[in-house]
Structure formats: C-alpha cells, structure tokens
Amino acid sequence: MLANKNLQLNSLGKLQHFLSIEGLQKSLLTEILDTAESFADMSEQQVKKFPLLRGKTIVNLFFENSTRTRATFELAATRLSADILSMNIATSATSKGESLLDTIRNLEAMQVDMFVVRHSLSGAAHFIAENAAPRISVINAGDGQHEHPTQAMLDMFTIRRVKQSFSGLRIAIVGDILHSRVARSQIHALNILGAEEVRVIAPKTLLPAQVESLGVSVYHDLTVGLKNVDVIIMLRLQKERMNSALLPSESEYFKCFGLSDDKLKIANKDAMVMHPGPINRGVEISSSVADGPQSVILQQVTNGIAVRMAVMSMAMQCNMRTE
C-alpha cells in the first residue's frame, strides 16, 4: 500500500511534495495550471530566467532513464535560478550496494532542497518523501506503474490552453493503459477537473483489472471509442515493461489501435491529438497524424517546462515558509 496521500500537503493544505494526482483537490490542480500559465507567458520573453529559487539546490534522482523528462526538469530548475544536480544512478552508489536511504541521507548532508525522483518501483517517491528531512520537497517524476503527476498536469495544461475548459469534454486515452503511470495520473486529473467523460480504449490484455473503478468508460474498439471525442491521448507501447507477449504484432496493433488519418476522422472535427512521447511512429500513431494540424505533441513538450516550474516553485515556497 502506498503512503498517506496527505503527505503531499502541509498543515495549511499547500503543496509540499508532488507525488500523485489522486486525492488532490480541484482548487490545487487549478492553482498549478494558473501558475504554469504565468511561467508559459514568461517563456516568450527575451529573458526567461527568474531569481525565485536562487540559492536552492535541486537533485534529479533518476533511477530510470528518461531524457525528455529529465531535460525539462533541468531546464525548469535552471529558469528558476536553482542549482541542479543530475545523478546518474547507473554509475552511482546504489549500484555499488548502497541503500536508497543511505543515498538520500548523504544528499541531505549536502544541504540540498528538493529531490525529483524517477524510479521503476511504484511508491518510491512516497518512500523518499516519508523518509527525507522535513525541509526537503519531493517531486515524483514517474514511479513504476503508479503515477507520473507532472506529465499529467502538463497534459491538462495543454488541453486547457486549447479547449479553455474541461467541462463538456470527452477524452479518449488509447493504448497501453496497463503499464502506463501517465494514464493513471491523467484519469485522476481529468475526473478531478470535471471532464464530461474519460474513455480508455485498448485491447483487454493492456487494461488493468477493474479499470472502470477509476471512473472511466471502457472500449475495445477504436472506431467505436473515438466517436464524439474532443481529445485523443495516445500512449506509448511500453514494451520494456511487458514481461509476456500481450500483443500479436506491432503491425496488428497499429491496424486495430493505431491512430491513422482515417481513424482520426471518427472523432470530433476539432479533436486534439496528444502523446506523452517518445512516440513509436507506425505503431501507436501514423506520422501524418503525429505531425498533422491536430497534433499538439510538441506543445506538450514546451508546456512541460512551465508546469514543472510551477510545481517546483509551489513546493519550494511551501518549504521555505515552514522553515
């Protein structure tokens, strides 16, 4: 079982750690989106760097590879004037047998202020937040199959920028729901923010048991599931997480669940197409759709910086106030 959800909030109900979307209030998610909006505007300025976190040290603790997420966290921290240390865990002490807690204790002794954690095990970020010094904030940058809250928030930010509001929106999440921490966070966020309907579209082998309990409608046929949809979120096939043959072949998968121009026409005319990346062209999505006018995939990458700046500054401010 994962740690207490309220671990994320301080006594004033402010964000101290950002570990999961589940259990957060709409007002807090909206505050993150509003703050990110300010940072997004700032990124269009000549000078994109602000002194908010000057003198603070942020450690990127990536136990799993992720070039894009790590880069956007680094850039976000740099734009907030924080110092950032990116730990290459593959060559660090944990690979020499040091325990995770000892690694954390050593970094604490270096007087760092925030951990950004990516780990292959669900609950790793919660574990660190529970055990780290109270002055340190922890941001979950993806833990196992549990959650990837900043990715979900940048997706929410992208949707809100295009569609203005979540009310009345029908959103389809297509693909490998079973292995996707992003999908789990997206479903929570969309339900909290008041989307009309969240659909998951996938073969039965790529859906978690009792997925309906997350508050979604389930479809196994893409041509049925895309009807009247405003937002299509395609997911990457996480082959590295599949420990058995869950699919007949990639070409068969694309035929049934890949987003092509023809399939896209089934959705609403102004439906937006998203993908958290990296995309497998011709497996989950065709190049013509990925690069087409309805795609916002690169905007998602840009928005990731603003959202991570917002989350980092909110969490850090919370810790400064309670010092």
Q: Which residues bind another protein (CB under 8 A)?
A: 14, 31, 34-35, 37-38, 41-42, 44-47, 49-52, 310, 313-314, 317-318, 320-321, 323
List residues forming the annotated binding site. Answer: 68-69, 96, 118, 148, 151, 181, 236, 277-278
List residues forming the annotated binding site for L-aspartate. Answer: 96, 181, 236
| Main-chain phi, psi angles of 307, to 5 degrees | -65, -40
In this complex, which beta carbon is closest to another protein, that of residue 251 or of residue 322?
322
On the 0-12 / 13-18 / 19+ scale of CB atoms within 10 A, 16 is buried
In this complex, which beta carbon is closest to another protein, that of residue 198 or of residue 318?
318
Nearest-10 crossing angle of helices 181-193, 149-163: 50
3-state secondary structure of 114: strand
In this complex, which beta carbon is closest to another protein, that of residue 1 or of residue 47?
47
- Residue 14: CB minimum distance to another protein, A: 8
Q: Are 93 and 103 contacting, i.e. CB atoms less than 8 angstroms apart?
A: yes
- Residue 53: CB minimum distance to another protein, A: 9
**Which element (helix H / strand E) includes 73?**
helix 67-79
In this complex, which beta carbon is closest to another protein, that of residue 153 or of residue 259?
153
Tokens of 284: 């989950």
CA–CA dist 27, 116 (Å, integer): 23
In this complex, which beta carbon is closest to another protein, that of residue 113 or of residue 284?
113
3-state secondary structure of 237: coil
- Residue 214: CB minimum distance to another protein, A: 28
Q: What is the residue whose two structure tokens read 């964000």?
A: 15
Query: What b/e string do you get for 96-119 counting C-beta neighbours within 10 Å, with b at 16 or more?
Result: eeeebeebbeebbeeebbbbbbbb
List residues forming the annotated binding site for carbamoyl phosphate. Answer: 68-69, 118, 148, 151, 277-278
Q: Are 153 and 204 contacting, i.e. CB atoms less than 8 angstroms apart?
A: no
- Residue 302: CB minimum distance to another protein, A: 16
- Residue 193: CB minimum distance to another protein, A: 15
- DSSP type of residue 22: T
Q: What is the residue whose two structure tokens read 């994962």?
A: 2
- Residue 57: CB minimum distance to another protein, A: 16
In this complex, which beta carbon is closest to another protein, that of residue 264 or of residue 314?
314
Tokens of 295: 């795609």
